[in-house]
């Protein structure tokens, strides 16, 4: 699936495409994978009529063939499912040494209505709403022109499937799912057995950095490069005004007392406290108690962190402190890298360890 940052890029490109009609283009979507593959189901790539791509799937052989197939689709205006496996005669993954198999839906964006779903997607991201998007792409094993339904908290925001019973079945299947991953469903419908790809849509991760230290200044551009929405917080307005902040960065002047009212925090947010003032750090961390965030971190030596944890203000509060993975960080830039890596591990539910196991095999 695409990251929220990639999805934002894709949405912008699709909106531009609709505005600049007539332009030929096709949308390629991974619908199923097996074994080791370069991306997961739900990942999209836009192929423009001149061969340019937005949100590359991979830099290798599969992408070249997918782009070639997409350019053919823009001319034929008929969707197609392309399978890469040992039986297809297009075993490009084996050539790359991956050994996986995948199925790619390639749909022409031949009309202005083909991108109507983008408006609902853009609305969800701008309002930081979690949602799901389901794409009907085959009936009784035969590829059809894709139709989509998008909903958030059981409120349907877009639906061109026009089959209320099927839409209800899709929403019900996701409501009973135990994890939040892209899945392919095969469901009965009035037209036959429907193949539907359902992918979760999450807003971009938001990082709040409290403090104007050197490590904080190093973390901000790194977070922006990762596509995170970034906000710098300091209680001193003069210090905020004196900083040369990266483009697109928000700056908020807030004390521990008004932090929660000054910042909208949600489950796709992380906060790192790094003021280099122990009492200030404790006060800001205490203000985050009960905040619905994915990660709370604090900078400091082990001795300093021990003093933090000994205070009653932070009793029972889960804080990643010292913040960051143990990669031997010393400079502000290295510390920023360690912190960003730990946040990524937490939000992706990973341990942050090496990809290989003790025998040298890749996980």
The C-alpha atoms of residue 344 and residue 297 are separated, in whole angstroms, by 13
pLDDT bin (cut points 50, 70, 90) of residue 358 is low
| Domains of the chain (ranges, CATH numbers) | 1-115 (no CATH), 122-204 (no CATH), 206-347 (3.40.50.720)
**pLDDT score of 193 more than 70:** yes
223-240: average pLDDT:
91
Which tokens in the block code for residue 199?
């992918």
Measure the CA–CA gap between 276 and 279, rounded to whole angstroms: 9
- Sheet of 192-201: strand order equals 155-159, 142-152, 131-139, 192-201, 183-189
H helix intervals, 144-297: 164-175, 214-225, 237-242, 259-262, 278-287
Per residue in 97-112, pLDDT (tens digit) is 556 788 999 999 988 7
> In sequence order, which ranges of the chain are alpha helices (DSSP H)?
4-19, 61-76, 92-96, 117-126, 164-175, 214-225, 237-242, 259-262, 278-287, 302-309, 332-347
In this structure, the number of other CB atoms found within 10 A of the CB of residue 141 comes to 10
102 versus 189: the higher-pLDDT residue is 189
Residue 309 Cα distances to 44, 216, 259, 294, 332, angstroms: 45, 22, 21, 20, 24
Q: Report pLDDT for 359.
A: 53
User: What pTM was computed for the model?
Assistant: 0.86
Average pLDDT over residues 132-157: 95
Could you report the per-residue pLDDT of 4-26, keeping only the tens digit for each? 888 999 999 999 998 887 678 99
Contacts for 208 with CB less than 8 Å, ≥ 6 apart: 230, 231, 233, 263, 265, 269, 270, 271, 272
Q: What percent of the chain has pLDDT over 70?
A: 92
Q: 34 pLDDT band (50/70/90 cuts)?
A: confident
């Amino acid at each position: 699936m695409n990251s929220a940052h990639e999805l934002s890029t894709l949405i912008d490109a699709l909106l531009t495409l609709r505005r600049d009609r007539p332009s030929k283009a096709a949308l390629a979507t991974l619908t199923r994978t097996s074994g080791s593959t370069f991306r997961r189901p739900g990942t999209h790539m836009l192929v423009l009529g001149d061969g340019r791509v937005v949100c590359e799937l991979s830099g290798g052989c599969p992408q070249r063939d997918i782009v070639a197939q997409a350019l053919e689709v823009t001319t034929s205006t008929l969707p197609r499912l392309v399978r890469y496996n040992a039986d297809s005669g297009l075993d490009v993954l084996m050539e790359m040494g991956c050994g996986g198999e995948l199925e790619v839906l390639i749909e022409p964006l031949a009309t202005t209505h083909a991108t109507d779903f983008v408006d609902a997607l853009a609305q969800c991201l701008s309002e930081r709403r979690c949602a799901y998007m389901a794409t009907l792409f085959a009936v009784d094993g035969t590829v059809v022109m894709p139709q989509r339904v998008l909903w958030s908290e059981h409120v349907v925001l877009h639906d061109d499937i026009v089959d209320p019973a099927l839409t209800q079945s899709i929403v019900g299947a996701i409501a009973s799912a135990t994890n939040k991953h892209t899945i392919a469903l095969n469901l009965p419908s009035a037209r036959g057995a429907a193949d539907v790809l359902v992918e979760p849509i999450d807003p971009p991760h938001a990082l709040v950095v409290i403090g104007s230290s050197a490590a904080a200044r190093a973390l901000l551009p790194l977070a922006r490069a990762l596509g995170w929405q970034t906000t710098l917080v300091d209680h001193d307005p003069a210090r905020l005004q004196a900083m040369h902040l990266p483009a697109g960065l928000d700056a908020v002047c807030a004390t521990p007392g008004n932090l929660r009212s000054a910042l909208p925090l949600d489950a796709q947010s992380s906060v790192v406290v790094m003021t280099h003032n122990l009492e200030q750090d404790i006060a800001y961390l205490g203000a985050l108690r009960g905040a619905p965030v994915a990660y709370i971190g604090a900078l400091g030596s082990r001795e300093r962190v021990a003093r933090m944890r000994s205070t009653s203000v932070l009793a029972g509060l889960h804080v990643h402190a010292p913040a960051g993975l143990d990669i031997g960080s010393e400079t502000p830039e290295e510390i920023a890298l360690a912190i960003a890596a730990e946040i990524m591990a937490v939000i992706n539910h990973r341990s942050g360890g090496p990809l290989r196991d003790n025998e040298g095999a890749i996980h």
